[in-house]
Amino acid sequence: MVAATLKDVAELAGVSVKTVSNVVNGYAFVKPENRRRVEEALAATGYRPNVGARNLRRGRTGFLALVLPELSIPYFGELAGLVINAGHDQEWNVLIEQTLGTREGERATLGALGPHMVDGAIVSPEALHANDFEELSGGVPMVMLGEHAVDVPVDRVGIDNVRAAEVAVRHLVAIGRTRIAAIGQHPTRGTAALRLAGYRSALTEAGLPVREELIAPALNYHRRDGATAMADLLALPEPPDAVFCFNDLLAIGALRAAAERGVRVPGDVAIVGFDNNEESAYSLPSLTTIAPDKRAIARAAVDLLRRRVSGEEGLAPQQVHVPFALEIRESTS
């Protein structure tokens, strides 16, 4: 029993393909008698539309690309799940591509995204340059995730990173910390610059000095990088009494570095993360963190794409800010 086609069904029902197509697509007015016969034939043959053919005809692919660094990174795993769901709501299947967060990888992936491969792409760039974007977009509508230094006329969805960082640091100030460090400085990551700006401004606002030695860089944003950076901070003559990490993985690493040195959290040093990964509610201690509304990010991105794809030409590039919250947990109480 090899896949039945519209034609097969039509023959079995004794009607034309058009009628079958109409029934299948829930179309118009079909004589009840015919509808019944078509439906029977449909069931009898176990007909399933050939999506490829349908899309070829319709001039769409039915696919959406989600381009991100790596699915094994909790934040992206969680986000991807939500994007898949949001995509389904718009009859899109989501194709996930991994770039490893390198410019190489990002260029290669965008370049491979032919105009026929997908109807649009949701991209979470980490290292892309502005001109890469223009060069490689290939006419595929795109939405960028997260705020970025890169200035490209493209829709973006994310939270207000400067404000979020301010909220995080203000919280540390509010619980009485004065030597507040930051982990995650990075030369090219767009969000790093923004979170750092928020960190600085919150300190200044509180009348606290910004000490450059308390701003720790991170080559990557993995757990091990957080541990390394935290080790360096704790080795300072005057170590910090609080640390704002630019993501939860860094914070988890920082937690471990502290524990290994017998430094108590939050007793000796309070820690705040960013992203609200599921694991952060279960770390020991659990992690206070900035919780972006990931569901809103996924929905807004897909929605923006839908509007672009359905050809709202005049629409200027949008910058959508979704809500975030400070999730206060044990690492700061």
Partner DNA sequence: TTGAAAGCGCTAACAT
Partner DNA sequence: ATGTTAGCGCTTTCAA
CA 259 – CA 312 distance, rounded (Å): 54
Least CB distance to its own copies at residue 107 (A): 15
- 1 near DNA (CB under 7 A): no
Q: Is residue 21 involved in binding DNA (CB under 7 A)? A: yes
Instruction: Report which residue type is found at 217.
Output: P
> Shortest gap between Cβ of 296 and its own copies (angstroms)?
16
In this complex, which beta carbon is closest to its own copies, that of residue 75 or of residue 199? 75
Closest CB to its own copies among residues 26, 237: 26
Binders of DNA among 211-230, rule CB under 7 A? none
Q: Residue 54 interacts with DNA (CB under 7 A)? A: yes
30 binds, among DNA, its own copies, none (CB under 5 to 8 A by kind): DNA
Q: Which does residue 19 bind out of DNA, its own copies, none, counting CB within 5 to 8 angstroms by kind?
A: DNA
Residue selected from 34, 188, 201, 220 as contacting DNA according to rule CB under 7 A:
34
Cβ proximity to DNA, 21 vs 220, nearer residue:
21
Q: Which of 1, 26, 57, 72 contacts DNA by CB under 7 A?
A: 57
Interaction of residue 16 with DNA, rule CB under 7 A: yes
Output the CA–CA distances (angstroms, integers) from residue 200 to 43, 173, 266, 323, in the order listed.
Answer: 65, 12, 22, 22
Closer residue to its own copies, CB minimum distance, 79 or 193: 79
Would you count residue 58 as binding DNA (CB under 7 A)?
Answer: yes
d(CA 204, CA 267): 24
Q: Is 311 in the site for DNA (CB under 7 A)?
A: no
Count of residues of this chain found to bind DNA when the rule CB under 7 A is applied:
29
User: Which two tokens mark 15?
Assistant: 């009607």
**Residue 59: CB minimum distance to its own copies, A:** 10
Q: Which does 31 bind (CB under 5 to 8 A by kind): its own copies, DNA, none?
A: DNA
Least Å from the CB of residue 283 to its own copies: 7
Please, what is the minimum distance in Å from the beta carbon of residue 134 to DNA? 23
Q: Binding residues for its own copies, per CB under 8 A?
A: 1-3, 46, 48-53, 55-56, 61, 70-74, 76-78, 80-81, 84-85, 93-98, 114-117, 138-139, 223, 227, 252-253, 255-256, 259, 278-279, 281-284, 286
Which region, judged by CB under 7 A, interacts with DNA, from 18-26, 72-80, 185-193, 208-216?
18-26
- CA torsion angle 198 297 251 268 (round to 10): 60
How far is Cα 233 from Cα 250, in angstroms, rounded to an integer? 13
Question: Quick one: which segment of 46-54, 266-274, 305-313, 324-332 binds DNA (CB under 7 A)?
Answer: 46-54
- HEC per residue, the chain: CCCCCHHHHHHHHCCCHHHHHHHHCCCCCCCHHHHHHHHHHHHHHCCCCCHHHHHHHHCCCCEEEEEECCCCCHHHHHHHHHHHHHHHHCCCEEEEEECCCCHHHHHHHHHHCCCCCCCEEEECCCCCCHHHHHHHCCCCCEEEECCCCCCCCCEEEECCHHHHHHHHHHHHHHCCCCCEEEEEECCCCHHHHHHHHHHHHHHHHCCCCCCHHHEEECCCCCHHHHHHHHHHHHCCCCCCCEEEECCHHHHHHHHHHHHHCCCCCCCCCEEEEECCCHHHHCCCCCCEEEEECHHHHHHHHHHHHHHHHCCCCCCCCCEEECCEEEECCHHHC
Q: Does 36 bind DNA (CB under 7 A)?
A: no
Q: Contact positions toward DNA, by CB under 7 A? A: 3, 5-7, 15-19, 21-22, 24-25, 28-31, 33-35, 47, 49-50, 53-54, 56-59
